[in-house]
Structure 1
């Protein structure tokens, strides 16, 4: 008797009540939400009927007030965004200046090197073109000096 494990088995004749319980719960919840949404719709229609004359008579003023409020909100949100952007840029610059190598500093280093390289190439080209122009100007002046001048009468 000590060798047999004790296991409890439910009787096989019991009905499986879980799907029924799920259905009843879902139906109750669905009916409750349906009633609440109906009440919200009814309240919306009643308030719209009551407020329509007020909205029609005060419409022009309310539209202008709404536009002003939207513009004020946009200005405040933009200013806040600019402040956040400025603070994050200043924090990045501070980290970069103190040598902490923030994200993107390696890309900045490579971009700086590429710009310096390109500036050197452009400087060399400008010097080359300057020398070419100087040589061309000297040739033009030499050819003008070597040509005989027409005499005026």
Structure 2
């Protein structure tokens, strides 16, 4: 019974039995390419980490030295920064409007090309409508001028 409990609680079931800790470790070690990769990348990572630390240290020292200058010249720097931001915003807005105009013109040109085969029919229809509108306007003009002449005649007779 004690052997069964030993197998159940620690040795046989969980890998500590016959083979001991070796059963948890892989049979083979890392490949040669992995060893070479780690051997080359470890020093490079250390160098880059050191450079990052030096850069952070330099930035903190520079900020500590420049802070009094920022405070002294803030009445000049703040308006200058605002002016630069407004200028950049203006340039970006101008570019956006220019792109919008170019895309609109491109759309119009493509629209006109698409309907260029039907253009003579559209032009004839437009000409007829313009002639009808001109005829209607001319007739209304004649009617108004006749009405004005009649009123002028009537006003002349009364005097």
Q: TM-score, normalised by structure 2?
A: 0.50
Q: 1:36 aligns with which of 30, 34, 51?
A: 51
Counterpart in the other structure of 2:108: 93
Alignment of 1:46 with 2:46, yes or no, is no
Question: Offset of 1:100 from its aligned partner?
Answer: 7.1
Q: 1:100 to 1:47 in 2, by over 3 A?
A: farther
The Cα shift of 1:60 comes to: 2.3
Kindly tell me the number of residue pairs found equivalent between the two proteins: 87
Structure label with greater radius of gyration? 2
Q: What's the offset of the Cα at 1:71?
A: 0.8
Moved over 3 A (4+): none
What does 1:73-84 align with in structure 2 at a 5 Å threshold? 73-84=88-99
Q: Which has the higher contact order (CA 8 A, sep 6+)?
A: 1
1:128 paired residue number: none
1:50–1:100: structure 2 CA closer, same or farther, 3 Å change rule?
A: farther
Shift of 1:95: 1.1
Q: Say if 1:97 and 1:22 are closer, same or farther in 2 by CA, change over 3 A.
A: same
- Quote the Cα distance in structure 2 between the aligned partners of 1:100 and 1:54: 66
Structure 2 regions of 5+ residues with no counterpart? 1-29, 117-159
Which ranges of structure 1 fall in alignment gaps of 5 or more residues? Answer: 1-14, 102-153
**d(CA) in 1 for partners of 2:61, 2:49:** 18
In structure 2, distance between residues paired with 1:70 and 1:52: 22
Residues 1:69 and 2:84 are matched in the alignment:
yes
